[in-house]
Amino acid sequence: MSQTSFGIHTPFAATLLERRDLSADTALFKVAPEKAALPALSRFVPGQFVQLSVPGAGEVPISPADLPSMDGSLELCVRRVGHVTEHLHHLPAGSKLALRGPFGTGFPIREMAGHPVLLLAGGLGIAPLRSLLFHLIRHSQEFGEITLMYGARQPKLMLFREELSALAAQGKLRLYLTVDFAPEQPAGTFSCTVGLLPDLLKGFSFDAKRTYAAVCGPPPLYRCLTVELEDAGVEARRIFLSLERRMRCGIGRCCHCALGQKLCCTDGPVFRLDELQQIPEAL
Amino acid sequence: MKTRFLCQNQLPEFLKILQLFGELHGPTVTDAGVTAFAALEDPSALRLDYQRTQIPPKKYLIPFREELLQYRDDTYHQNEIKAPEIVLFGVHSCDLEGIAYLDLVFLGDRPDPCYSARRAGLTLVGISCEPDDFCFCNGSFETAPCDLFLTARQDGFELSVSSAKGEAIASAAQHLLTEVQPFPQTERPTCPIRPQDPELRFSENPLWDKFARTCVSCGACSVCCPTCYCFDVREYPSLSGGGSRLREWDNCLFATHGEVAGGNFRPTRLERLRFRFLHKYCGFTPLDGMTSCVGCGRCKQLCPVDIDLREIIDTQPKTTPELP
């Protein structure tokens, strides 16, 4: 159900249920929207985004990091990086928030059915891919092999580490973790590869012709990773990237999220690589 | 078939009739000497011989700053939108085309409630014009969307009605109008915008560098453009606990426009200029392929460093339109 015309600017009321710190500057916020929002907000596709309002601060576009739940609550993984997110990070549980959405295109979960799926996440890019991963795992019989390659700057910045390791231990996915550098770690703690995500991909053998790739991370990562993926044999039309722009309105009006002649909020934020290759400023 | 004609000397009476349909606004000259659309409390302040106003009529539909929402009692509320009934008189066809484009953007999919309310209260009375050196419209003023259009003829105006509202005005002014034989169609000098060569968009045309070196990113060309509608959304908390969310005109020539956390996708003037050009002439989702430049000439007239995008548009040598 889409929002009424009266409601395109008016968000639904929501409450901050709990927050879980994932790193020094990143936390997972569990947000429960009011009942009236459930028909719209409980039907998002992984990769779509919602506009989260922090009263007095403003709105930010955030892609949920989980799947639609029975009670309608959403998990939003947010780094403290700007005006609105700074305010959000100071709020105690029970605080009032507001939500609009969902907006934009998600990952093409129907099109991916029957194919192996390779998820590539850099840093905070794990957030929307965690949502997609949960979908793939929940419907694993519909998909081929599920692989997640996740790179972070250093071990303590690797989000959802235990959760992902536990899922991998249950055989739900193939998990490859890498960090850019590993400072001293006490013996017996977490260990993973040290290196960049594209390096990880180099030594990886997979059915590239049939694989769908979903990528989310910082722009420099896209530039090198897409080359590696195409070199490995993944077709550009099967590589999907989730882009970040400053969507103000979410409905294709304010033009802040423009890339070339496309708008990130309505044509994206998930784009096919071959679409983006025509747009000089996209990546 | 006869056509309706308004004698020049009946114009003041006609304006009085228009005032029955809403607050009368039209082109006038402000105390500061600026040509502007403004309320005409005294209809004699009307300046129908104007070329173009500094700010286009988009200000009636998208105010420079407007409140979208208020935050109080733990929720966001949309205030009732109070849109006055306004009769905007004396709008040139380029500006009417500009409004038609804004209608596509704001009244299409998921209509904007603020815009819809203001648009519903706006009656448009167009008028024919004489192009000057800055103009480059396609001259299709017969098709310009409005309620009523006045074409200047000898000693008066020929009326064309194109909406029920326009018909209501014409009926109310029936006693001021005479029926005359239709006027022969006159050829109007035009300097149409040529279809875009896609190669030009991001080509290595040295003109782009020339423009980028002189552009000061002042954004005047967007502010005065009848079809530029980019906006920013800001939220201001109030000391009493609530707050309001506003939207304000924004500008793609400003460095902040392409900002994201930790970066900027259009950091240089060259990129921003090209982006504006691309959007203006080649369109945008979902109006991809649609030129939104209406040829009003404001951007060229107001640019402080005399950037003329027509230099890029015109792949052939420019010819000056012959005036009638």
Same-domain check for residues B41 and B171: yes
Tokens coding A198: 């594209």
| CA B184 to each of CA B155, B158, B181: distance values in angstroms, whole numbers, following the listed order | 16, 11, 9
With a cut of 70, say whether residue A187 has pLDDT above it: no
d(CA B260, CA B244): 23
Model confidence pLDDT, tens digit, residues B89-146: 999 988 999 999 999 999 988 899 999 999 999 999 999 888 888 887 776 555 678 9
d(CA A255, CA A272): 20
- In one letter, which amino acid is B115? Y
| CA A202 to each of CA A146, A229, A230, B181: distance values in angstroms, whole numbers, following the listed order | 18, 9, 12, 81
| CA B214 to each of CA A66, B221, B269: distance values in angstroms, whole numbers, following the listed order | 49, 14, 10
Tokens coding A39: 């028909």
Same-domain check for residues B171 and B202: no
Residue with tokens 């905007």: B88
Domain boundary, last residue among A44, A68, A103 = A103
| CA A59 to each of CA A100, A249, B67, B73: distance values in angstroms, whole numbers, following the listed order | 9, 9, 15, 18
Same-domain check for residues B287 and B252: yes
Q: What is the ipTM of this complex?
A: 0.86
Q: For residue A248, give the chain B residue with the closest CA.
A: B233
In a domain, B136, yes or no: yes
Q: For residue A267, give the chain B residue with the closest CA.
A: B285
In a domain, B290, yes or no: yes
* Residue span of the structural domain in which B257 resides: 198-313
In a domain, B212, yes or no: yes
Distance from CA of B218 to the nearest CA of A (A): 18
In a domain, B190, yes or no: no
In a domain, B305, yes or no: yes
Between A277 and A283, residue with greater pLDDT: A277
What's chain B's length in residues?
324
Same-domain check for residues B151 and B28: yes
| Strands annotated E in chain B | 3-7, 23-29, 35-39, 65-72, 75-77, 86-91, 122-127, 148-153, 156-161, 177-180, 231-237, 243-249, 259-260, 263-264
Closest CA to B159 of B8, B5, B1, B48: B5
Domain boundary, last residue among A80, A103, A126 = A103
With a cut of 60, say whether residue A4 has pLDDT above it: no
Residue with tokens 């002649």: A261
Are A253 and B229 an interchain contact pair (Cβ–Cβ within 8 Å)? yes
Residue A35 in contact with partner chain B when CB distance is under 8 A: no
Q: What's the domain count of chain A?
A: 2
| Residues of A in Cβ contact (< 8 Å) with B263 | 219
Q: What's the domain count of chain B?
A: 2
| Residues of B in Cβ contact (< 8 Å) with A13 | 74-76
Residue A138 in contact with partner chain B when CB distance is under 8 A: no
Residue A114 in contact with partner chain B when CB distance is under 8 A: no
pLDDT band at B198 (very low <50, low <70, confident <90, very high): low
Nearest to A281 among B229, B271, B288 (CB): B271
Nearest to B233 among A13, A59, A259 (CB): A59
Section A165-177 average pLDDT: 92
Nearest to B285 among A58, A79, A266 (CB): A266
Lowest mean pLDDT of A147-156, B194-203, B278-287, name the range.
Answer: B194-203
In this prediction, residue B116 carries a pLDDT of: 93
In a domain, B189, yes or no: no
* Contact (CB, 8 A) for B230 and B222: yes
Same-domain check for residues A270 and A149: yes
User: Measured in Å, how far apart are chain A's first and last C-alpha atoms?
Assistant: 33
Model confidence pLDDT, tens digit, residues A143-155: 999 999 999 998 8
In this prediction, residue A189 carries a pLDDT of: 67
Same-domain check for residues A146 and A130: yes
pTM of the model: 0.89
* Contact (CB, 8 A) for A225 and A273: no
In a domain, A9, yes or no: yes
With a cut of 90, say whether residue B88 has pLDDT above it: yes
Domain boundary, last residue among A68, A103, A138 = A103
Tokens coding A77: 């993984």
What's chain A's length in residues?
283
Same-domain check for residues A31 and A147: no
In this prediction, residue B190 carries a pLDDT of: 58
Same-domain check for residues B169 and B74: yes
d(CA B55, CA B222): 10
| Residues of B in Cβ contact (< 8 Å) with A266 | 285-286
Nearest to A249 among B111, B233, B252 (CB): B233
In a domain, B36, yes or no: yes
Tokens coding A61: 């576009």
In a domain, A98, yes or no: yes
pLDDT band at B320 (very low <50, low <70, confident <90, very high): very low
Model confidence pLDDT, tens digit, residues A214-247: 999 988 888 889 888 998 899 999 999 999 888 8
The interface residues of chain A toward chain B in range 79-108, judged by CB-CB distance below 8 A, are: 79, 81-82, 96, 98
In this prediction, residue B43 carries a pLDDT of: 85
What is the four-CA torsion angle of A148, A278, A270, A225, rounded to 10 degrees? 20
Tokens coding A15: 């409450």
Same-domain check for residues A80 and A140: no
DSSP A125: G
Distance from CA of B251 to the nearest CA of A (A): 9
d(CA A70, CA B60): 45
Report residue B52: phi and psi, to 5°: -160, 150
* Residue span of the structural domain in which A172 resides: 109-276
Same-domain check for residues B24 and B77: yes
Same-domain check for residues B91 and B41: yes
Q: What angle do CA A262, A267, A269 make, to 5 degrees?
A: 105
Contacts of B324 (CB under 8 A, 6+ apart): B130, B186, B188, B189
Report residue B123: phi and psi, to 5°: -105, 130
- The counts of H helices and E strands in chain B are 10, 14
In a domain, A281, yes or no: no
Give percent of chain B with pLDDT exceeding 70: 88
